[in-house]
Amino acid sequence: MPLDRDPADRTYKVVGHRHNRPDGIDKVTGRAKFGADLAAPGLLHGRILRSPHAHARIKSIDTSKALALEGVKAIVTAADFPDHPQVLEDGELTNIRYNVMAREKALYDGHAVAAVAASNPRIAAKALKLIEVDYEVLPHVVDVELAMKDDAPILHDHIRTEGMEDAPDCPTNVAERIELGYGDVEAGFAEADVVIERQFRTGAAHQGYIEPHACLANISGDGSGDLWCCTQGQFMVRDVCAQLNGMDVSKLRVTPSEIGGGFGGKTTVFIEPVAVALSRKAGKPVKIVMNRGEVFRATGPTASSAIWVKMGCKRDGTITAAQAELKYQGGAFPGSPVSMGAMTAFACYQPKTLKAIGWDVVTNRPKQAAYRAPGAPMAAFAVESIVEELAHTIGMDPVDFRLKNAATSGSKSAYGPTYSDIGLVETLEAVKAHPNYAIKLGPNQGRGVASGFWFNFGGQTAVTLNLNIDGTVALSVGTPDIGGSRASMCAMAAEELGIPYHHVQTIIADTGSLGFNDVTDGSRVTFASGLATIEAARNAAKVLCERAAKIWGIPADAVTWENGCAVPAGPNAGEFPPMTIKELAKKAGETGGPIAGHFEVSADGAGPSFATHLVDAEVDRETGRITILRYLIVQDAGKAVSPAYVEGQMQGGAVQGIGWALNEEYIYNDKGVMENPGFLDYRVPVASDLPMIDTQIVEVPNPGHPYGVRGVGETSIVPPLGAVANAVAAAVGARPEELPMSPPRLLKLMKEQAQPLAAE
Amino acid sequence: MARVKLWGSLSRMADGQKEFEIDAPNIDRMLTALGEAAPKLKPILAKGVTVSIDGTLYRLDKFQAIQPDSEVYILPKMAGG
Amino acid sequence: MSQVHVTTKINGDSTEYLCDADETLLDVLRDRLQMTGSKEGCGTGDCGACTIILDGRPVCSCLVLGAEAEGRSVETIEGMANGEELHPLQRHFLNGAALQCGICTPGILVAAKALLAQNANPSETEIRYWLAGNLCRCTGYDKIIRAVQSAAAEMRGETHAA
Ligand code: FES
Ligand code: FES
């Protein structure tokens, strides 16, 4: 749906103003119900037995002793997820089934092997100890480059490398090779005055949502039932759980709870199909709540990576060649986001020639899940490090260097298509003009800049809007609200209908009450559900006009909707005083029945969002500790519907990126067992680690949305890794090539190459 | 005739051909015609790709119209977080 | 296993319950008393989502046994508002967009209330260190710190209600 004529001319009454969110009071008083907050009469508690080995053949599972324990009501294993045809047809569904319950082999430390439902959690825990699993421990591999070697332990016998016509027909851990680019990079490097190349590595970070996965399944004897859970997509959960359990999709109703963070990590299932199976077997409601250790070991962190980047530029700053090879391990199943890493790597620039190769690799780690702009942050870290170094080497201001090469509206993107209206240049100019850019730095301090890009997606969306008898509006959307999106939906519906914000109430509907919606991902909610909300409201306004026309006895097209009232379209339509939404609502029964509007769409045209971050960091040369002194985010939001929440998304994403850059990573011992599965040792940023995070919203309207909205949730995690690395490089005079820059790594770096970087 | 461009790995499967001239009213027809022109592409197209028409990404809508002068790119399947 | 009988005060009301000897106060609150406002983010004292005030001091209720509440006074998020009237911290959190998903919010509000009870005018640094045990993954803390500052200012009578 195209942008309404000229958004710059449009003045918004509701959109873009600050409003309290509909779920706010419940969330500050403790009333809001999250995944683990539901109970049911006769509730059983489910617990999952997990593999202690990184890679092991499961020779047998004996559950008899556990079943004999008083209070144990049901046990399930892989045998309870048989080969339903609809599962085998779909490769990804087969992988999900294997991931939620190990079959012939356990593929990573923490892989589910069996599950118990018992009358209380303590009995369930005891029962797990009584399950006897006979494992044959196999050699394992957790490192992406080791997993690519010819003699690496093989996870799956059926994997052959896709995307290579000459791939040998023997088992491998390399699931796919992708390549993209244009022009002749060798000629591009020959044309360059300066060429820099480096090899980078990034650790696997976890989304770190504070709410562990939780669900409550209640399946009755006739095989139909309910599932309550925290998820980014109740329809996805319903479809996957029903199919894995051989149920008709119509038999399962999934109600999404309030969700305590997701960031992509709740776009798939882990415990939900297991709870359904246990509840069906026990004939009682079953609740499963993960503990934090399980969240780390057995849900989906992001990929770890090894990335080589080589770039060349001329003295005037023109980038003549850009080349990258990206290796991402996505855990025990194919599907790492390496193709998106390859496509986004150079998306901020217009190199004259480009070549990017990506490798998708499986290892004995948990199956990766999406994490905010999946695949992009690590690639941006590598590229932005080289970009900064090129700028310094030719003696150009790093923002000017980026401006010289920046992708612009109408330019060709590095991944192929031509950009529509985009706002990268605006973010760079805003950074340059910001007072932070001029602050003098002290000793051991450094300043770093980095830009970032994310595509943003739309997706399948259905929205229904119903008018109540008093003229207020009930809006049902199907995309879980992670960060305040209900407030934006209320605002957009109110704007269209010309009624006050607080006259609209938005709920997240269960799967029984609304059409299919894709998961909340790709920063799509404000864009896609917003677009559908606007259309649903416009449809309702059309019905309202028809009703007024009926009452006035004039043709429907002689009535228009203005400021919450039906009014005659022009002098020829006749003289009638405006009829308010309230009057029309009251007369709905007499004029034809309930008044509603709905809209269903596969929304596309989400419009990419760019950002530039500026950071000042200080390094303690004795301890290797890095302190973030100042942080500025400038991002294009298209049109900020709820500015305070746009800022919040930007700040939250940036801080997650800072954590990834400085501290966060999965650490494995030599047995392939995760050594830090808790918040004590997997350290996410805390309040005392950070300064205030300055923000500036740039608004370059997205031509694909009526108000010009762009998604904002994901781009914010793309620049921080590179920005922080660039600040640290400037402070210590040596370039960090491995993230996170934990104190030991930084101390080592300073010791090894304590000479100043070229021209820094 | 719209110009349909393939991302690198895909063009390898099409014997190195990077660009096709295809006359098709929408994405669905275009993908069918492309599969006929380069049969090795068929399994990949069937697994799912993202199609960009004049800079807008389409992950789902197979019946989006393609204009004769449209710029069309076939890109890998994509997902967000 | 025989259960322990506990008499305690929760949000000002005398309360009695039975619990297992090894059951945490957090589990008692959530599972036995249906007070699910306190959240479990880790169960090991590392996230602060379960923060309550025990005899005036903020503690992680996942590290306290239900039996230990005997004869003491417990304050939870459920007791923070006075009927319909929100506590200034709750109001400033709402108005300042200091929550996104809201799972960390109860713990942070309770911890902040304990801070302001002993220090009416904390500096930004003091707030940051006081809340260092309360993880928030959504906000980057900026708006949380500002909301605590503005609520404190209102409570000192320096500004009007948000
Ligand atoms: S649940 Fe108590 S500190 Fe995390
Ligand atoms: S608001 Fe989500 S964790 Fe704090």
pLDDT tens track for A333-387? 999 999 999 999 999 999 999 999 999 999 999 999 999 999 999 999 999 999 9
**DSSP string of A136-196, one letter each residue:** EE------HHHHTSTTSPPS-TT---BT-TT--SS--SEEEEEEEEES-HHHHHHH-SEEE
**DSSP string of A489-506, one letter each residue:** HHHHHHHHHT--GGGEEE
Query: What is residue A432's three-state secondary structure?
Result: helix
Task: Indicate if A293 and A228 belong to the same structural domain.
Answer: yes
C126 touches chain A (CB under 8 A): no
Nearest CB among C46, C90, C93 relative to A679 is that of C46
The reply to whether ligand 2 has any atom less than 6 angstroms from the CB of C104 is yes
C4-79, CATH topology level = Ubiquitin-like (UB roll) (3.10.20)
- Residues 594-653 (A) with a CB less than 8 A from some CB of B: 602, 604-606
Which is it for strands A473-477 and A504-508: parallel, antiparallel or unpaired? Answer: parallel
What ipTM is given for this predicted complex?
A: 0.97
Neighbours of A517 (CB within 10 A): 28
Asked whether the beta carbons of C151 and C91 are under 8 A apart, the reply is: yes
Residue A522 binned pLDDT confidence (cut-offs 50, 70, 90): low
Asked whether the beta carbons of A74 and A116 are under 8 A apart, the reply is: yes
**DSSP string of chain C, one letter each residue:** -PPEEEEEEETTEEEEEEE-TT-BHHHIIIIIS--TTS--S-SSSSS-TTEEEETTEEEEGGGSBGGGGTT-EEE-GGGTSBTTBPPHHHHHHHHTT--SS-SSHHHHHHHHHHHHHH-SS--HHHHHHHGGGS--SSS-SHHHHHHHHHHHHHHTTSS---
- What b-and-e string marks burial along A688-705, b requiring 16 or more CB atoms within 10 Å of the CB? ebbbbbbbbbbbbbbbbb
Integer angstrom CA distances of residue B74 from A261, A456, A615, A656: 33, 17, 37, 32
Residues shown for chain B? 81
pTM equals 0.95
The reply to whether ligand 2 has any atom less than 6 angstroms from the CB of C153 is no
Give the closest residue to A52 by CA, choosing from A168, A155, A134, A158. A134
The CATH number covering residue A52 comes to: 3.90.1170.50
Q: Do C97 and A647 touch (CB under 8 A)?
A: yes
**pLDDT at res. A584:** 97
B6 part of a folded domain: yes
**pLDDT at res. A293:** 98
Structure tokens at A27: 């969330």
Mean pLDDT of A196-211: 98
**pLDDT at res. A313:** 98
**pLDDT at res. A759:** 41
Give the closest residue to A605 by CA, choosing from A484, A536, A535, A522. A522
Nearest CB among A164, A165, A602 relative to B61 is that of A602
A607: left (phi over 0), alpha (psi -120 to 50) or beta: left
The residue that leads in pLDDT, A151 or B47, is A151
Give the closest residue to B27 by CA, choosing from B53, B3, B47. B53
pLDDT tens track for A114-156? 999 999 998 999 999 999 999 999 999 999 999 999 999 999 9
A330 part of a folded domain: yes
* E strand spans, B1-81: 2-6, 19-22, 49-53, 56-58, 71-76
Task: Indicate if A111 and A246 belong to the same structural domain.
Answer: yes
For residue B23, the enclosing domain spans 2-76
Task: Indicate if A439 and A491 belong to the same structural domain.
Answer: no
Cα gap B20→B1, rounded to integer Å: 9
**DSSP designation for A333:** S
Cβ-based contacts of B75 with chain A (< 8 Å): 343, 415-417
B68 touches chain A (CB under 8 A): no
Query: What is residue A71's three-state secondary structure?
Result: coil
**DSSP designation for B18:** -
The type of residue at A403 is: L
C88-155, CATH topology level = DNA polymerase; domain 1 (1.10.150)
The CATH number covering residue B44 comes to: 3.10.20.30
B45 part of a folded domain: yes
Task: Indicate if A629 and A581 belong to the same structural domain.
Answer: no
CA A303 / ligand 2 centre spacing (Å): 23
* Residue in chain B nearest A711 by alpha carbon: B80
Task: Indicate if A393 and A283 belong to the same structural domain.
Answer: no
Radius of gyration of chain A (CA): 27
Structure tokens at C25: 């106060």
Residues 6+ apart with CB under 8 A from A637: A609, A646, A697, A698, A699, A709, A710, A712
Task: Indicate if A16 and A63 belong to the same structural domain.
Answer: no
Domain coordinates in residue numbering, chain C:
4-79, 88-155
State phi, psi for C25 to the nearest 5 degrees: -60, -35
**DSSP string of C70-103, one letter each residue:** TT-EEE-GGGTSBTTBPPHHHHHHHHTT--SS-S
Taking the CA of A27 as reference, the closest ligand is 2
pLDDT tens track for A4-25? 655 556 788 888 888 888 899 9
**pLDDT at res. A669:** 98
For residue A726, the enclosing domain spans 304-456+607-752
Q: Given a cut of 60, is residue A599 above it in pLDDT? A: yes
Integer angstrom CA distances of residue A322 from A182, A340, A399, A722, C137: 10, 16, 18, 17, 35
Task: Indicate if A431 and A464 belong to the same structural domain.
Answer: no
Which is it for strands A319-329 and A354-361: parallel, antiparallel or unpaired? Answer: parallel
Task: Indicate if A245 and A392 belong to the same structural domain.
Answer: no
**pLDDT at res. A708:** 87
**Closest ligand 1 atom to Cα of C45:** 3
Task: Indicate if A232 and A107 belong to the same structural domain.
Answer: yes
Residue B61 binned pLDDT confidence (cut-offs 50, 70, 90): confident
Look at A251-265, B11-25, C134-148 and tell me which has the smallest mean pLDDT.
B11-25
Integer angstrom CA distances of residue A663 from A178, A328, A735, C68: 30, 20, 17, 36
Furthest-apart CA pair in chain C: how many Å?
55
Task: Indicate if A641 and A739 belong to the same structural domain.
Answer: yes
Residues 6+ apart with CB under 8 A from A668: A54, A109, A142, A365, A674, A675
Q: Please tell me the distance in Å from A298's CA to the nearest CA on chain C.
A: 15
Query: What is residue A568's three-state secondary structure?
Result: strand
**pLDDT at res. A1:** 52
Query: What is residue A103's three-state secondary structure?
Result: coil
pLDDT tens track for A647-700? 999 999 999 999 999 999 999 999 999 999 999 999 999 999 999 999 999 999
Cα gap A615→A631, rounded to integer Å: 5
**pLDDT at res. A8:** 54
Structure tokens at A640: 């900020």
Residue B81 binned pLDDT confidence (cut-offs 50, 70, 90): low
Asked whether the beta carbons of C8 and C19 are under 8 A apart, the reply is: no
**pLDDT at res. C1:** 59
The reply to whether ligand 2 has any atom less than 6 angstroms from the CB of C98 is no
**pLDDT at res. A9:** 63
**pLDDT at res. A517:** 92
Q: Given a cut of 50, is residue A760 above it in pLDDT? A: no
| Number of domains into which chain A is organized | 3
Residues 6+ apart with CB under 8 A from A635: A427, A609, A610, A611, A612, A650, A695, A696, A697, A698, A712, A715, A716
**pLDDT at res. A758:** 43
Question: With touching defined as 3+ CB pairs under 8 A, do chains A and C touch?
Answer: yes
Cα gap A111→A546, rounded to integer Å: 58
**Closest ligand 2 atom to Cα of C99:** 1
Instruction: Give the angle A294-A298-A303 at the CA atoms, nearest 5°.
Output: 130
Question: With touching defined as 3+ CB pairs under 8 A, do chains C and B touch?
Answer: no
Atom 4 (ligand 2) nearest CA: C136
- Residues 38-57 (C) with a CB less than 8 A from some CB of A: 38-44, 46-47, 49
Neighbours of A154 (CB within 10 A): 17
Which is it for strands A319-329 and A252-256: parallel, antiparallel or unpaired? Answer: unpaired
**pLDDT at res. A265:** 95
Q: Given a cut of 80, is residue A281 above it in pLDDT? A: yes
Mean pLDDT of A525-542: 90
Task: Indicate if A382 and A489 belong to the same structural domain.
Answer: no
- Residues 72-91 (C) with a CB less than 8 A from some CB of A: 76-78, 80-81, 86, 90
Walk across the sheet containing B56-58 and list its strands. B19-22, B2-6, B71-76, B49-53, B56-58
| C-beta pairs of A148-156 under 8 Å, 24+ apart in sequence | A148/A173, A148/A174, A148/A327, A148/A359, A148/A361, A153/A55, A153/A364, A155/A55, A155/A105, A155/A107, A155/A332, A155/A362, A155/A363, A155/A364, A156/A362
pLDDT tens track for A416-446? 899 989 999 999 999 999 999 999 999 999 9
B81 part of a folded domain: no
Cα gap A453→A473, rounded to integer Å: 37
A184 part of a folded domain: no
A707 part of a folded domain: yes
Cα gap A466→A474, rounded to integer Å: 5
Atom 3 (ligand 1) nearest CA: C45
Cα gap A108→A99, rounded to integer Å: 10
Task: Indicate if A223 and A336 belong to the same structural domain.
Answer: no
CA C49 / ligand 1 centre spacing (Å): 5
**Which parts of chain C have pLDDT scores under 50?**
none
Cα gap C20→A708, rounded to integer Å: 57
